[in-house]
Amino acid sequence: MTVKKARIAVLVSGGGTNLQAIIDAEKSGIIKSGEVAVVISSNPGAYALERAKAAGIPSEVVSKKEASSRAEFEEKLSDTIDRYGTDLIVLAGFMCILSPEFTKKYERKIINVHPSLIPSFCGEGFYGLKVHEAALKKGVKVTGATVHFVNEIPDGGEIIMQKAVSVEDGDTPEILQKRVMREAEWIILPAAVEYVSSMVISK
């Protein structure tokens, strides 16, 4: 008997460390209700594509730079997602803000990991190291990561999971970024993927 699994598209733009966390979690059985069906990169030079290849996962490039408009880019992205029969879309370091039309089409089917405890240090303009720079500038003692559903408001969708991480004396944005990845993102993203995948297949 074949076990039904949610088909997952992971959208990437860079190194793919969160993608790797998902691949590893699928191999180790943390993610058992879903499988990565395709990795889609907005950047043809993303190292995440190498990670997909090493894991034997099909990959596609939908270049934002080569599209004449956001609408054209999202149409190509949507076509690629649909071609793989995708049940769940995971944004793992995907550096493109998606339009309300796109998020509406895939309502409650897109999740994202953000490197702070939303509602702190989130929204438009808060990505990558900028989040950790802002946290250190504010002098917070605790930060972390959040996995949330994606809607038309950047970082505004319903929260699925959060995990706190301590800020330590002498932290730089780079050191803090690595700690948040290791202690929060790489733990709650695979857990959230499993949680949402299990909901998808139980419908």
Summarised one tens digit per residue, pLDDT across range 30-49 is: 999 999 999 999 999 999 99
The CATH number linked to 129 is 3.40.50.170
In a domain, 159, yes or no: yes
Domain count, the chain: 1
In a domain, 1, yes or no: no
**Cα 146 from Cα 11, distance rounded (Å):** 17
In a domain, 59, yes or no: yes
Q: What does the pLDDT look like over 152-201, one tens digit per residue?
A: 999 999 999 999 999 999 999 999 999 999 999 999 999 999 999 999 99
Q: pTM value? A: 0.95
CA angle 171/118/64 to nearest 5° reads 90
Clarify whether 114 is annotated catalytic: yes
Q: Is 24 helix (H, G, I), strand (E, B) or coil?
A: helix
In a domain, 38, yes or no: yes
In a domain, 31, yes or no: yes
Q: What is the domain extent for residue 99?
A: 6-202
Active-site annotation holder among 114, 132, 148, 179: 114
Average of pLDDT values for 51-74? 96
Where residue 51 falls among pLDDT bands split at 50, 70, 90?
very high
In a domain, 83, yes or no: yes
Beta bridge pairs of residue 7: 35
Q: Is the pLDDT of residue 203 over 90?
A: no
In a domain, 41, yes or no: yes
In a domain, 16, yes or no: yes
